Amino acid sequence: MTVRVLICDDHAIVRQGIRQILADATDIALAGEAANGPDALARAREGGIDVVLLDIAMPQRDGLDILRQLKSELPRLPVLMLSTYPDRQYAVRSLKLGAAGYLHKSADAEQLTEAIRKVAAGQLFITPAVAELLAAALVQPAADDKPLHETLSHREFQVFRLLSQGRSVGEIAQALVLAPNTVSTYRARILDKTGVRNDVELALYAVRHALL
């Protein structure tokens, strides 16, 4: 059986590289591409896809938000998350949201095709490094031992990332389809939980913890 893959990444050169890897695999085929969050959702809804390769840093709607939407609408469709961020920042969060696997973009072609085959077969793909992170997460460390940003809810984390990128409350409200007052409330909670005083300090925090 041929595994049909949807590539979701905003960088054309990354999509081109993945296309080449898929072309070299006789049992994997390209089903389509998407360069932003809404396009990824639209293409997945059309069907004819066995695996979604989804970049975390997608424009318009980020990959974690798309992942949550996909698992709500298409719970049986496996999603393999791709990222340039350090594993410890997003791997566990992705898997908790329903991802079938998490792979850093530094992985080689063989590891990518192995991951695709595994999640297409209904299995979970995790690297040894991510397995260690999951094991640590199961221990449930005390709140004082956790990085402050890990105490944020999914929505707070989305707003946190956008604020750290310099987006205004109005822009975030539009991007996440929320009322500006709601975004402002999330912002206040984020500042309180991370212990920073303003958006500049928040951006510095994000840089310091490799979240951008």
Q: What is the pLDDT of residues 54-95, one digit of tens each?
A: 999 888 888 988 999 999 999 999 999 998 877 777 888 888
Whether 130 and 36 have beta carbons less than 8 Å apart is answered as no
Please say whether the beta carbons of 52 and 78 come within 8 A: yes
Domain coordinates of the chain in residue numbers? 3-138, 143-208
Per CATH, the homologous superfamily of domain 3-138 is Response regulator (3.40.50.2300)
- Residue 145 confidence class, pLDDT cut points 50, 70, 90: low
pLDDT band at 139 (very low <50, low <70, confident <90, very high): low
Identify the pLDDT of residue 128: 82
Q: pTM here?
A: 0.74
Fold match, 3-138 / 143-208: no
Domain 143-208 belongs to what topology? Arc Repressor Mutant, subunit A (1.10.10)
How distant, in Å, are the alpha carbons of 69, 131, 176, 212 from that of 126?
22, 6, 29, 23
Each residue of 101-137: pLDDT tens digit? 999 888 899 999 999 999 999 999 988 888 777 776 6
